[in-house]
Chains A and B, each alone.
Chain A
């Protein structure tokens, strides 16, 4: 497994470089917006990756609540953390695209607002994990994650249910896309998914190691205490 990580890292780096080339050079220029539309190749895959990571967080949280497996708790924490990173990218690149196209950075429409609320829910989740030292923290966080996951389908389908400023979905929502643009979009999504997987993997190893060290510290303190009592 240790040898697989650098190999996958190199392959992901190559894939990310290829995806960047596809997005900036190979993809055709959009008729109305021009080159600024190429932001779409980073914005949409980041959103999809964030949704998948929040879904993983939901599955792991349910598993933790039902089976109390520490590994599920670590997976939940890691997926939420990396998901927040990708969701931050969505919230940053969206307004950068909107400024030249809509003429405004932000509008309080349903898709944008619900995405911001989703981001705030998962940031709250991470704050809870970071600053609460109670033994019940993983359980409380898992419950919050289950509630947060309910927001994900709402964000995704908000452009179906509400009249929003946000563009229509790329696939299955009546929007049309040039097949070459779709290819570039999927290549970028694959690249970002591989990157997210690798980051989650390294973060999982780090969190497992951190917990082992914390246990060792606790054991050491206990032994010191016993020695001083004697």
Chain B
């Protein structure tokens, strides 16, 4: 018998389909996951558009020199 009664993440399943419980925590965890991913993707997109501007500036300078 484990000393911690919540020893396993996922043990047996409940076939009676209990009413939804602690949905706020579930929603918070899923929302937090996607907020973190979307924020990171946002930083990649921002860096990419900054890089595009830098490339355009370099091209303009090249044209001016020619």
Contacts and interface: CB of A to CB of B under 8 A. Distances in A.
Contacts of A209: 51, 55
A129 interface: no
Contacts of A165: 4
Given A203-B44, A220-B61, A46 B10 contact: no
Interface string A207-226: 00110010011001000000
A180 B44 CA distance: 36
Contacts of B26: 35-36, 38-39
Interface stretch (A58-66, A88-96, A113-121, A148-156): A88-96
A97 B17 contact: no
Interface in A25-81: 28-40, 42-44, 46
Contacts, number: 134
A101 B10 contact: no
Band of interface residues on B: 35 or more
Contacts of A31: 11-14
B20 interface: yes
Contacts of B47: 206, 210
A88 B8 contact: no
Nearest to A85: B40
Nearest to A167: B9
Contacts of B58: 213, 216-217, 220
A93 B29 contact: yes
A225 B23 CA distance: 63
Contacts of B11: 30-32, 175-178
Interface in B44-65: 44, 47-48, 51, 54-55, 58, 61
A35 B20 contact: yes
B18 interface: yes
A210 B51 contact: yes
Interface string B1-45: 011111111111111011011110110111011001100110010
Given A33-B22, A209-B51, 11 more contacts: A20-B30, A28-B13, A42-B29, A92-B29, A92-B36, A167-B8, A168-B2, A176-B12, A178-B12, A206-B48, A210-B51
Interface of B: 2-15, 17-18, 20-23, 25-26, 28-30, 32-33, 36-37, 40-41, 44, 47-48, 51, 54-55, 58, 61
Interface of A: 20, 24, 28-40, 42-44, 46, 82, 85, 88-89, 92-93, 96-97, 99-102, 163, 165, 167-168, 170, 175-178, 180-181, 185, 195, 199, 202-203, 206, 209-210, 213, 216-217, 220
